[in-house]
Structure 1
Amino acid sequence: MNKHLLFLHLPKNGGTTLNSILDRLYKKQKVFSIREKNPHELNTADFLKLPKLEKERIRLVKGHLKFGFHEHFTGPSEYFTFLRKPEERIISFYQYVLDNPSHRLFEEVSKMSLYEFVTQLKDADTNNGQVRWISGMVEEGEGMLEKALENIQNHFSFVGFTEEFDESLILLQEKYGWSLPYYKVQNRTRKRQSLEALDDKTKMAIADHNHLDQQLYTIFKERFDQQKKMIRNLNLKVLRLRSYNKLYSIYKG
């Protein structure tokens, strides 16, 4: 039996670009995309209302879904996701909110510095957000990192990295037998602050509020580096992908 594949799209980790690739690789009728119905509500309820048989026909669910979504399927399923360096993710997330007046956090964040965004905003995505989503724990508590590690061990087929996006795509291609996953970058945050330009107080605040995310990143980056060694001619495959991307970006304008 084919497994249901779930792409757990962590905010500001390159997921919008990956979603565009998945839309090309999978038949539309076999994909369900988790989307915002409004700034405060996702369309998860629409999936839950589907008849059981129709749910089971879905081969891929993708979007901002927390761990546990697989429980809505009766057949076997597995997740994959991409991690990002916590400091880069937080900077990108902050700038993304500022650039989007329709974002649920815009009104509050527009009055904040990056330091205040990290230390004062009562939003889980700025505080070990990657571990929180993967663990499935709504509130931070003892053992959240351990739960995330357990979930990955038991339910995830792959963990990639935004900083090595192309290499991650090649590993996914090898694992799932995809055609070449070429793309044009989507939803890139513009005019964001660089990490080097941040003051020490802000850097420390980001590190303090995302120390579990950093531990998760470090653990799986080591595993990812080992996985890359198993792919024959990886560098050549990455170069081929990037060549296609240049042509595709020109074609898409």
Structure 2
Amino acid sequence: MGNVTHLFTTRQQLLIHLHMPKTGGTTLKKIIKKNYGKRKSVDVYVDREKLSYVLTNLSKRNIDCIQGHMPFGVHQFFNQPGSYVTMLRDPVDRVLSDYYFIRSLPSHNLHSKVIKMSLEEYQKDPVNSNLQTHYILGEKFGEMLTKEDLEKAKSNLIHHFSVAGITERFDESISLMKKYWGWNNISYTKANVTKGRLSKEEISRGIIDQIETNNVFDIELYHFAKELLEEKIRLLNIH
């Protein structure tokens, strides 16, 4: 387990919210906006091939916070020091939530594709495997990952994330972020909750086993992030 490398951040740092899909990130985004305001907080939800262009332009502006479905590496576009926050989720639950969410939302850009797919077909797609590790690594989307990639993702969590929260421990994660970033208001109501999804217990054991096999790096990264979070909770006496 790595040491906690920094205790508190300051407003001189750029807050980068790496909004991990289907982990409670929309709720976190709303909390952050309440503490930064619309003028100092910018949302970036664009296709990955357009991201460099958008970030290059944003780097010329005076902003305090940037949020979006952006992989690790955003800080490299800015001169000011930056630190990340994110939420990670039990990988099986995240895949299930993502699948049923896309199917329930006709306006989603993947709806027409995913509505024709079974859960088994969806979870087999390499694009949907180890997504959290890909985001924290910041590269190799849709490609096979290696053990070295996983270790690099772990290192990124240690050295570049003030808090990597855990969806299943949302309140404690947000309380940590409040302490690190000096937020005033962390009240919330859950946003973007997937409706009509089946629970783990309602899915066949065979498919659950497949999801676990196809997300083995995400599972290890998730448990590593939980240990990091628990270390910080103990250190700062969060209840």
Q: TM-score, normalised by structure 2?
A: 0.87
Which amino acid in 1 is paired with 2:53? A
Specify the SS of the correspondent of 1:49.
helix
What CA distance in whole angstroms lies between the structure 1 residues aligned with 2:153 and 2:49? 24
Q: How many residues align?
A: 226
What is the CA-CA distance between 1:51 and the residue it aligns to?
A: 6.6
Partner of 1:183: 188
Equivalent runs, 1:113-132 vs 2, <5 Å: 113-119=118-124, 121-122=125-126, 124=127, 126-132=128-134
Quick check: which has more Rg, 1 or 2? 1
What is the CA-CA distance between 1:227 and the residue it aligns to?
A: 2.2
For the 8 Å contact 2:17–2:67, the answer to whether it is kept is yes
For the 8 Å contact 1:32–1:47, the answer to whether it is kept is no
Equivalent of residue 226 in structure 1, options 216, 231, 236:
231
Specify the SS of the correspondent of 2:86.
strand
- Are 1:11 and 2:21 an aligned pair? yes
For the 8 Å contact 1:7–1:81, the answer to whether it is kept is yes
For the 8 Å contact 1:34–1:44, the answer to whether it is kept is no
Partner of 1:22: 32
Partner of 2:165: 160
Q: Which runs of 4+ in 1 moved over 4 A?
A: 39-44
For the 8 Å contact 1:5–1:60, the answer to whether it is kept is yes
For the 8 Å contact 2:31–2:185, the answer to whether it is kept is no
Specify the SS of the correspondent of 1:230.
helix
Partner of 1:213: 218
Partner of 1:169: 174
- Are 1:31 and 2:36 an aligned pair? no
Equivalent of residue 99 in structure 1, options 86, 104, 107:
104
For the 8 Å contact 2:59–2:77, the answer to whether it is kept is no
Specify the SS of the correspondent of 1:188.
coil
Deviation per residue, 1:30-79 (Å, 9 max, x gap)? 1111124xx88767634422472x2xx21111111111111110121111
Unmatched segments (≥5 aa) in structure 1: 236-253
CA RMSD of aligned residues (A): 2.0
Give the stretch that moved more between structures: 90-99 or 133-142.
133-142
What is the CA-CA distance between 1:230 and the residue it aligns to?
A: 3.2
For the 8 Å contact 2:92–2:212, the answer to whether it is kept is yes
What CA distance in whole angstroms lies between the structure 2 residues aligned with 1:193 and 1:28? 36
Identity percentage over the alignment?
35
For the 8 Å contact 1:32–1:61, the answer to whether it is kept is yes
Specify the SS of the correspondent of 1:140.
coil
Unmatched segments (≥5 aa) in structure 2: 1-10
For the 8 Å contact 1:135–1:151, the answer to whether it is kept is yes
Specify the SS of the correspondent of 2:39.
helix
Equivalent runs, 1:189-200 vs 2, <5 Å: 189-200=194-205
For the 8 Å contact 1:83–1:159, the answer to whether it is kept is yes
Give the stretch that moved more between structures: 144-153 or 200-209.
144-153
Q: TM-score, normalised by structure 1?
A: 0.83
Deviation per residue, 1:81-107 (Å, 9 max, x gap)? 111000110010000110112222222
